[in-house]
Amino acid sequence: AQSVTQLGSHVSVSEGALVLLRCNYSSSVPPYLFWYVQYPNQGLQLLLKYTTGATLVKGINGFEAEFKKSETSFHLTKPSAHMSDAAEYFCAVSEFEEYGNKLVFGAGTILRVKS
């Protein structure tokens, strides 16, 4: 069975500082990996995804993540935090089958950005 572990339920950074949100996954087959962001009172918005190919993937709002198979990790980074990045971030893993894509989510990390 697939699973996702997000280290740190809360992360606090200063504006302009590096953002690093950690995600480790477990999957018996090559996974699809995703980061979603949830702003207050809104739905889940896809930041980026890894399916195949280049292991460093770039997403929206300056975020990127690197798939490291040997470490079973897919950490999310952004070089310089902005106040608008404050939100909850979810890492997810899946195996896309012909009948759909069941995502397994991590518990989420709340990012706080201090001015």
Partner 1 sequence: EPEVTQTPSHQVTQMGQEVILRCVPISNHLYFYWYRQILGQKVEFLVSFYNNEISEKSEIFDDQFSVERPDGSNFTLKIRSTKLEDSAMYFCASSEAEKLFFGSGTQLSVL
For partner 1, the binding residues (CB under 8 A) are 32, 36, 41-46, 49, 51, 90, 92, 94, 96, 99-108
In single-letter form, the type of residue at position 46 comes to L
- To partner 1, the closest distance from the beta carbon of 15 in angstroms equals 27
Task: Using the minimum distance from each CB to partner 1, give the nearer residue, 100 or 115.
Answer: 100
E strand residue ranges, the chain: 3-7, 10-14, 19-26, 32-38, 44-50, 56-58, 64-68, 73-78, 87-97, 100-105, 109-114
Task: Using the minimum distance from each CB to partner 1, give the nearer residue, 62 or 108.
Answer: 108
Task: Using the minimum distance from each CB to partner 1, give the nearer residue, 13 or 92.
Answer: 92
- Say how far apart CA 77 and CA 65 lie, in whole Å: 6
- To partner 1, the closest distance from the beta carbon of 80 in angstroms equals 26
In single-letter form, the type of residue at position 110 comes to I
Task: Using the minimum distance from each CB to partner 1, give the nearer residue, 70 or 97.
Answer: 97
Tokens of 5: 């572990």
- To partner 1, the closest distance from the beta carbon of 7 in angstroms equals 15
